[in-house]
Amino acid sequence: MRALGSLLIAILVGILAIWLLIALLGLALRLVAVVIGIALAVGAYFLAEKMIGKGR
């Protein structure tokens, strides 16, 4: 009976660890998407600035 309790605890800890991994992976992917968006905006700004000729 004691082994069954240990098995159940191990299964619960494993499920919790997998859930935490999935949550952190989702957060990391959202942060990567934000960084890519910022990089594209900066690139577009510099491209527009180069095309305009800095306005001076």
Q: Which sequence spans correspond to the domains of the chain? A: 20-56
Q: Mean pLDDT, to the nearest integer, of 22-49?
A: 95
Q: For residue 55, which phi and psi values (nearest 5 degrees)?
A: 70, 15
Average confidence (pLDDT) over 23-38: 96
Average pLDDT, integer, range 11-33? 96
Q: What is the torsion angle, in degrees rounded to the nearest 10, for the CA atoms of residue 15, residue 20, residue 22 and residue 26?
A: 160
Taking the C-alpha atoms of residue 29 and residue 19, their distance in angstroms, rounded to an integer, is 15
Spatial separation of the C-alpha atoms in residues 53 and 18, rounded to whole Å: 52
- Torsion (CA) 8, 14, 19, 24 in degrees, nearest 10: 150
What share of the chain has pLDDT > 70, as a percent? 95
